[in-house]
Amino acid sequence: MANNPITRRDVLKTLALGAAGSSVLQIVPLQAAQHVHQMIAQERAHSPARTYRAKFFSAHQYQTLSSLCDAIIPADEHSGGAVKAGAPEFIDLLTSENKDYQLSLGGGVMWLDGFCADRFGTTYLACSPAQKKEVLDLIAYRKSADKDAALSQGVEFFAFLRRLTSDGFYTSEIGIMDLQYIGNTFLTEFPGCPAVPEG
């Protein structure tokens, strides 16, 4: 223990506090965020079912979080999406250590279910794909809150969740590969710019 004075909780608190003002990637080193991904991988490896157990969100809230992360960065032909990259787990771990996140994200999921219940008579998860798209289109833009103040909590929640989802994705192995980042390497010669296609 003396050789490793920094605990798992210290790392999570540092990340969660550092991200409060803006994106994790703007505040803390990539290595610290990758450490969270390593903790998630270790938990999965030691779990009999090879799964992650949510630390803060209820099962329903965690499913909702995962669905939202998938809508924000879905898988495509180039890479796995936010869910495969572990963004929901990343967000849950940070939220488990930060009261402000708990209020913002936990309250945001409750707001979303309440809004969907008022509008469609069911929770967000039980909505049809068209209904989910309608709701996300409303809360994806700040101008929606200018037109209807009742949407402001949803708009703030979704903006914050987008930032955290991006951070969780782009600090993961899948996200780094998606960026095609090859690290700090040097070229023995500079081949010049590619030719501009004609036509």
- Is-contact 114 29, C-beta < 8 A? no
**Is 51 a member of any domain?**
yes
Q: What is the pTM of this model?
A: 0.78
Distance CA 13, CA 121 (A): 38
**Is 106 a member of any domain?**
yes
**Is 19 a member of any domain?**
yes
- Is-contact 168 85, C-beta < 8 A? yes
Q: How many structural domains does the chain have?
A: 1
Please state the rounded mean pLDDT for residues 133-151: 91
**Is 189 a member of any domain?**
no
**CA atoms within 13 A of residue 112's CA, in its CB half-sphere:** 32
**Is 184 a member of any domain?**
no
- The predicted-structure confidence for 42-53, as pLDDT tens digits, reads as follows 888 888 888 888
Secondary structure E strands in 16-96: none
List of residues 6+ apart from 136 with CB closer than 8 A: 71, 158
**Is 121 a member of any domain?**
yes
**Is 134 a member of any domain?**
yes
Return the pLDDT at 2. 43
Confidence bin at 154 (pLDDT 50/70/90):
very high
**DSSP label at residue 55:** S
Domain of 18 in residue numbering reads as: 8-179
Please state the rounded mean pLDDT for residues 176-180: 76
List of residues 6+ apart from 59 with CB closer than 8 A: none
Distance CA 125, CA 122 (A): 8
**Is 55 a member of any domain?**
yes
Return the pLDDT at 18. 56
- The predicted-structure confidence for 17-48, as pLDDT tens digits, reads as follows 555 545 555 444 666 777 788 888 888 888 88
- Per the structure block, which two tokens stand in for 165? 């989802």
Return the pLDDT at 16. 60
Distance CA 149, CA 171 (A): 34
Radius of gyration of the chain (CA): 19
Please give the C-alpha separations between residue 40 and each of 64, 80, 121, in angstroms, as whole numbers. 19, 17, 35
**DSSP label at residue 51:** -
- The predicted-structure confidence for 71-112, as pLDDT tens digits, reads as follows 999 998 888 899 999 999 999 988 888 888 999 999 999 999
- Is-contact 66 128, C-beta < 8 A? no
